[in-house]
Amino acid sequence: MKTIDNQTDGGSEATPGSYLTGFALAIALTVIPFALVVAGSAFPHAAVLSGIALAGVAQVLVHLHYFLHLNASTGSRWNLLAIVFTTLVLVILAGGSLWIMANLHQQMSPT
């Protein structure tokens, strides 16, 4: 197969091998949380939740690197900055909403 060169866009080189590596890692990082949930009684609840969260973060990083080809090059930094800013806004909105709902639940529940 012909190698696709994305150097003008600030991306890295995309090869079938890199896509297959990313696909294998994505499959593994999808299976790990399912295995943790199936064997949930063997691990503490906090360990299962931590494992799921870590696998999710690793999954995002794998997709950014292997499929979106974001790396430390100059062109990719602007793309990565936009993604990080969007993620920060979403975390603030979702986290703030959950915080408000939890606080309301605590205040409204009978004691």
Give the lowest-confidence range in 4-13, 18-27, 72-81: 4-13
CB 55 within 8 A of CB 32: yes
The mean per-residue pLDDT over the stretch 42-54 comes to 91
Three-state SS at 4: strand
Instruction: Give dist(CA 22, CA 26) in Å, integer.
Output: 6
User: What pLDDT, on a 0 to 100 scale, did the predictor assign at position 40?
Assistant: 78
Instruction: Give dist(CA 42, CA 44) in Å, integer.
Output: 7
Instruction: Look at residue 51 and tell me whether its pLDDT is greater than 90.
Output: yes
User: What pLDDT, on a 0 to 100 scale, did the predictor assign at position 79?
Assistant: 84
